[in-house]
Structure 1
Amino acid sequence: MSLDSTTLEAQPMFQPKMLIRPAVAWGTVVLFLVFGSDWMQHLSSHAIGISLFAWLFLVIVWGSFGVVHEAEELAGLLGEPVGTLVLTLSIVLIEVVLISAVMLGAGDTATLARDTMFAVLMIVLNGVVGLGLLIGGMRHHEQAYNLHGASAFLAVIIPLATIALVLPSFTASTPDGSLTTLQAVSFSILTIGLYGMFLWLQTGRHQGYFVAPRSDTDQIVPEEPPPPPRRARKGEMALHLVLLLVNILPIVILSKSLAKVLDYGIAATGAPHALGGVIIAMLVFTPEGISALIAIRRDQLTRAINLCLGGAASTVGLTVPAVLAIGLFTGKPVVLGLPPASIVLLASTLVLSTLTFSGWRTTMLEGAVHLSMFAVFLVLVFSP
């Protein structure tokens, strides 16, 4: 017996398995609200400290996959590029909350935002892009994508990254890579304005730049609007929006506990301060990175580029104003300027990304080169 459209429409939108992830996350929230203060007093025990970190890390990552799932459901309803934008902004929101939670702690967190943003750029632009292009090249030989979209992303990422991570190291008003109040306010407004204009163009007149080409020929790029999103059943969009919030909220609440464990662990082990930024970057971008790799494997390179480059642009565009605002209102020092070696690596990555996405197709060679840059980044984290 076949299912016709009427039967499909009659299938329930809500399924109990949708609540498994949020149930585990909210259960963890309840346990930490009841017993968390006692557990935090015993972090000096390596077994307890490692167990709490592993527990929180896995729950937050698993919850993030729930956020990705609901955001992808909304993507199917809203169409591209709005759907991918919802996913990207959801993930970056988690990142900003985690950074804020750690910054408001008692440890030395002056460079945390800088380290996290730099780690996200390296993981995304070198790690995920490199591995993705390598996998895509092995599976599909060459992959086509929408050049206009990639160029637009890079046109925003380059000035945002330069203003946020490079320029503070060369200003004369402060000696340590931090910003004066005037600089912080001005750069925040500039960052928000530039990123906001990009979002307006991405979801408006230039939507065609962020959808896959209509043809395999190098010269054809979609000039017409993207295909319409699938028609949503009554209440379907509201359901997935509620589930998206239900998955995000426990991550936001648990981030404070993870921040305490992470801060204590780095201080107790004498690990490099940059490692905290790397852990947060891996924590929040793992689900989105996996989604990008799956898209590349399916030969959906344009969607993967939207996820990767969109995540990089959103990270800088939203994190900088948030952390500078926290610094201004709480008096916490915020150091954004990168050290010289990291500036060289960032500049090389931005130039390499521009070259990689300067043609209409990609190959394995670009992937191997990006992965080599990612390896250099990992070495510098532990041996700056």
Structure 2
Amino acid sequence: MQHDTKPQKSTLALFAREERLLPVSLFAAAAFYAYGDTFAACLSHPVGLALVFAALFAIILGSVLSVVRHADELADRLGEPFGTLILTLTITTIEVVAISAVMFHGDNNSTLVRDTLFAVIMIILNGMVGLSLLLGAWRRPEQRHNLQGANAYLGLIVPLATLSLVLPEFQPAAYGPAISSLHQTVLVFMSIVLYGTFLLLQTGRHRVYFTQRNSREDHGPQHAPSAYPLLVHVMLLFAYMAPVVYLVDHLAKPIDYLVETIRAPAALGGVIMAVLVATPEAISAVRAAIADRLQRAVNIFLGSVLSTIGLTVPVMLAISHLTGHTITLGLGRSEMVMLILTLAVSMITFASGRTNLMQGSVHLTLFITYLLLILEG
């Protein structure tokens, strides 16, 4: 009997160690449910504001990282592109919940969707891509990816980003800061149809576009396989998602306090939301690039941007229509220049199917420029 129980105890101990954040996240959700008003009263004091914000951000980020960890395991078992699709859809769900929570808590958050979308694009296409290409090329002259897959992503990212963030700024002045109803209808319809068509392409007859033949990605997972059944990972993914959805509503209060009471830069709320949802995918993409699995990294960061624009925008426009909250999507002049420049450089970077050190350096330079623009604002 002892011979049978030791492996079981070892498995339980490993499970408890790997999932130690889950009870912390559930306890935090219970604490804010019981004492949410008490914690909210602490926001008027700098120390209380810092502690509440830091605790919530750390717990939510840790839980999202756990979601990504289980999504990565599903990716290894299901293969590309289904695994990456699960990851991007999960993160997009968290993003929509986070943006909605912050938007509904403040009076001056009409630009939050725009700021978050722009921040996600800058963080992923400049910061994440730059770091991934730079570290990936540090130990090898070049890395390869499937050119057809990158073109499929960018072929949708460029028009959807332009229609969502650039065109609204050139509407007739009579519509004010909000886009017209016709523009909203066209944007929602285009986003849903194009993203749905892309999913059919990605998971159907053109699935090969999103894999790289004769690469390390075709030789199984790059880490020790999990001992848990597939269903366990699915259940744990949703178990971590539940407290995140609840806690992010409380994170909206310190963010709203920072922007509206302390008068922090208006884009700060969007940057915080973007960091929250982009960090886990950034870690996965950087690890993949370092392990010479560039195709996996490309699927992550381009898929993340596409799902953010193609899914978040129509969902948030629908929420705006149902709740009566105004959404401003058009970027300012400097942000518009950065967006167009980023999209153009990204098209050049992925145009050959090969990447190198110089391309990573260019993207990181653009990311630093974006950070400087935030500080000036």
Q: Confirm or deny a common fold (TM above 0.5).
A: yes
The two structures, once aligned, show a CA RMSD in angstroms of: 2.4
**Cα contact 2:146–2:295 (8 A) shared by 1:** yes
Structure-to-structure mapping, 1:168-317, within 5 angstroms? 168-172=168-172, 174-214=174-214, 236-317=229-310
Q: What letter matches 1:39 in structure 2?
A: F
Deviations for 1:256-281, whole angstroms, at most 9, x for unmatched residues?
10001111122232111111101110
**Cα contact 1:26–1:250 (8 A) shared by 2:** yes
2:366 equivalent in structure 1: 373
Q: What letter matches 1:165 in structure 2?
A: L
**Cα contact 1:173–1:180 (8 A) shared by 2:** no
**Cα contact 1:101–1:256 (8 A) shared by 2:** yes
Deviates most, 54-63 or 105-114: 105-114
Deviations for 1:121-146, whole angstroms, at most 9, x for unmatched residues?
00000001011111112122211111
CA distance in 2, matches of 1:174, 1:280: 31
Deviation at 1:76, TM superposition (A): 1.8
**Cα contact 1:174–1:180 (8 A) shared by 2:** no
1:5 equivalent in structure 2: none
Q: What letter matches 1:48 in structure 2?
A: G
**Cα contact 1:176–1:335 (8 A) shared by 2:** no
**Cα contact 1:133–1:366 (8 A) shared by 2:** yes
Deviation at 1:21, TM superposition (A): 1.9
1:88 equivalent in structure 2: 88
Deviations for 1:176-209, whole angstroms, at most 9, x for unmatched residues?
4421223212211211111111111111111111
2:124 equivalent in structure 1: 124
Deviation at 1:234, TM superposition (A): 12
CA distance in 1, matches of 2:360, 2:226: 41
For residues 381 and 131 of structure 1, do their structure 2 counterparts lie closer, same or farther at Cα, with a shift above 3 Å needed?
same
**Cα contact 1:102–1:263 (8 A) shared by 2:** yes
**Cα contact 1:57–1:258 (8 A) shared by 2:** yes
Deviations for 1:95-120, whole angstroms, at most 9, x for unmatched residues?
11100111111331100000000000
CA distance in 2, matches of 1:251, 1:40: 18
Deviations for 1:309-352, whole angstroms, at most 9, x for unmatched residues?
00000111111012111211111110001111111110111010
Structure-to-structure mapping, 1:142-161, within 5 angstroms? 142-161=142-161
Q: Which runs of 5+ in 2 are unaligned?
A: 1-6
- For these two proteins, the number of residue pairs brought into alignment is 367
* Structure showing the higher helix proportion among its residues: 2
Q: What letter matches 2:72 in structure 1?
A: E
Q: What letter matches 1:326 in structure 2?
A: I
Q: What letter matches 1:242 in structure 2?
A: M
CA distance in 1, matches of 2:220, 2:139: 30
Q: Which runs of 5+ in 1 are unaligned?
A: 1-7, 217-221
1:383 equivalent in structure 2: 376
Deviations for 1:155-174, whole angstroms, at most 9, x for unmatched residues?
11001101111111112264
Structure-to-structure mapping, 1:2-151, within 5 angstroms? 15-151=15-151
2:166 counterpart SS class: helix
Q: What letter matches 1:37 in structure 2?
A: D
Provide TM-score, normalisation by structure 1.
0.90
**Cα contact 1:177–1:338 (8 A) shared by 2:** no
1:347 equivalent in structure 2: 340
Give percent identity, aligned residues only: 43
CA distance in 2, matches of 1:174, 1:248: 42
CA distance in 1, matches of 2:367, 2:74: 32
Q: What letter matches 2:371 in structure 1?
A: L
For residues 215 and 334 of structure 1, do their structure 2 counterparts lie closer, same or farther at Cα, with a shift above 3 Å needed?
closer
Deviation at 1:18, TM superposition (A): 4.4
